[in-house]
């Protein structure tokens, strides 16, 4: 992935000169006394990452670091099978003003490009780059083959959280035998937090008995681009129904893509045609309409509807 490494910002330094490079970078700036970090984040740019996409993820990480100062290690693997053993490094530093003029927060990026022949040296190199005594988080982005993650056992077992985005990784990421499954988080699920909050708040006005009685089908319709989020939202609904005592074996669950720019909707179908629950959202307009009548009178509500911003989804997945 030399194209990705070369596209990302930073100053190239010898692999053995990363710390010296940072010392020189901060030497003549007031930020040298403001470099306390809260965590380590390893961003692993998988084989399906393009240079433009890498820049987008880099920028999301910068925005995340404005709130949570961290040492970021970006892995840029080169999957060319005949490439000779090589590891290249870049460093990048940036500081941001916090809540006040005296609140300076800084982030440090170490970017590592490595060939498959140099893979066996990567674990030691990453461990040297991390800030000691700080929690470690691992974000595996756009990996092409989930089985190859086994080569990164150090990161899979040592990380407080392991992040991936089901919208851009193979489907078998959900069935992979993660060494620490409790630490795994899906960013597609995390992005739906505002939607889940609104749905949960509206449905909480009804008792579980009213919601479950006569429920025959749950239908989610979505723009094709939102397939991963729709699948996550359906899983959330199923778990909620199970917790409320519903017999989900008798309920049909359906997810259907539709040709509509911002469309996202959910509908409950009941044996009693007078019972109604629907949520119709247009994410392109940050707008949604609720309609509900489960036997207590008809209720309608207009609310906002949006996904979490990428940098907010990162923090939500890491810490909650």
Range from 18-32, 86-100, 276-290 carrying the lowest mean pLDDT: 18-32
User: At residue 32, does pLDDT exceed 60?
Assistant: no
User: Is 103 contained in some domain?
Assistant: yes
Q: How many domains does the structure of the chain reveal?
A: 2
User: Is 163 contained in some domain?
Assistant: yes
Instruction: Provide the 8-state DSSP code for 191.
Output: H
What's the full length of the chain, in residues? 320
What is the structure's pLDDT at 260? 87
SS3 per-residue string spanning 196-244? HHHHHHHHCCCCHHHHHCCEEEEEEEEEHHHHHHHHHHHHHHHHHHHHC
Long-range contacts of 248-254 (CB under 8 A, 24+ apart): 250/216, 251/215, 251/216, 251/217, 251/218, 252/216, 252/217, 252/218, 253/217, 253/218, 254/217, 254/218, 254/219, 254/220
The residue from 128, 160, 186 where one domain ends is 186
User: Is 227 contained in some domain?
Assistant: yes
Angle formed by the axes of helices 310-319 and 51-67, nearest 10°: 60
Q: Give the CA distances from residue 77 to residues 14, 15, 53, 115, 274, in Å, rounded to whole numbers and listed in that order.
A: 17, 15, 15, 6, 57
Range from 27-36, 128-137, 170-179, 203-212 carrying the lowest mean pLDDT: 27-36
Q: What is the band of 101 on the pLDDT scale with cuts at 50, 70, 90? A: low
Q: What digits encode the pLDDT tens for the residues 56-75?
A: 999 999 999 988 989 999 99
User: Is 167 contained in some domain?
Assistant: yes
Range of the domain at 66: 2-186
What is the structure's pLDDT at 265? 97
Q: What is the band of 107 on the pLDDT scale with cuts at 50, 70, 90? A: confident
User: At residue 104, does pLDDT exceed 90?
Assistant: no
| pTM given for the model | 0.94
Domain co-membership, 6 together with 147: yes
- Structure-block tokens of residue 21: 């490079």
Torsion over CA: 220, 223, 226, 228 (sign):
positive
The residue from 143, 158, 186 where one domain ends is 186
What is the structure's pLDDT at 208? 97
Q: What is the torsion angle, in degrees rounded to the nearest 10, for the CA atoms of residue 129, residue 65, residue 29 and residue 54?
A: 70
Domain co-membership, 266 together with 123: no
Q: What is the torsion angle, in degrees rounded to the nearest 10, for the CA atoms of residue 151, residue 157, residue 159 and residue 163?
A: 60
Instruction: Count the alpha carbons within 13 Å of 239 in the hemisphere toward its beta carbon.
Output: 8
Domain co-membership, 29 together with 91: yes
Domain co-membership, 205 together with 271: yes
CATH number, domain with residue 279? 3.30.360
Domain co-membership, 39 together with 174: yes
Task: Provide the greatest CA pair distance for the chain.
Answer: 73
Domain co-membership, 202 together with 93: no
Mean predicted lDDT score pLDDT of the chain:
93
Instruction: Provide the 8-state DSSP code for 280.
Output: E
User: Is 313 contained in some domain?
Assistant: no
């Amino acid at each position: 992935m030399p194209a990705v490494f070369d596209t990302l910002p930073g100053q190239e330094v010898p692999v053995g000169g990363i710390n010296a490079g940072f010392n020189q970078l901060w030497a003549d700036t007031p930020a040298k006394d403001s470099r306390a970090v809260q965590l380590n984040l390893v961003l692993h740019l998988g084989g399906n990452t393009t240079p433009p996409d890498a820049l987008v993820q880099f920028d999301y990480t910068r925005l995340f670091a404005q709130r949570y100062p961290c040492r970021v290690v970006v892995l840029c693997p080169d999957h060319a099978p005949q490439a000779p053993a090589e590891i290249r490094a870049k460093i990048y530093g940036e500081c941001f003003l916090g809540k006040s003029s005296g609140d300076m927060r800084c982030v440090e990026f170490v970017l590592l490009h490595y060939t498959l022949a140099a893979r066996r040296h990567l674990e030691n190199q990453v461990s040297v780059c991390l800030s000691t005594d700080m929690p470690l988080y691992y974000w595996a982005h756009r990996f092409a083959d989930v089985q190859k993650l086994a080569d990164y056992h150090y990161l899979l077992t040592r990380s407080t959280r392991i992040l991936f985005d089901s919208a851009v990784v193979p489907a078998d990421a959900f069935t992979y035998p993660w060494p620490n499954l409790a630490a795994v988080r899906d960013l597609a699920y995390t992005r739906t937090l505002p939607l889940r909050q609104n749905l949960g708040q509206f449905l909480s006005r009804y008792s579980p008995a009213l919601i479950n009685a006569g429920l025959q089908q749950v239908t989610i319709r979505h723009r094709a681009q939102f397939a991963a989020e729709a699948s996550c939202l359906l899983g959330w609904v199923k778990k909620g129904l199970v917790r409320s005592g519903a017999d989900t074996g008798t309920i049909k669950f359906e997810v259907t893509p539709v040709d509509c720019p911002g469309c996202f909707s959910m509908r409950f179908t009941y044996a009693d045609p007078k019972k109604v629950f629907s949520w119709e959202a247009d994410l392109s307009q940050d707008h949604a309409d609720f309609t509900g009548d489960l036997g207590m009178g008809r209720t309608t509500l207009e609310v906002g509807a949006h996904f979490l911003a990428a940098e907010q989804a990162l923090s939500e997945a890491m810490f909650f």
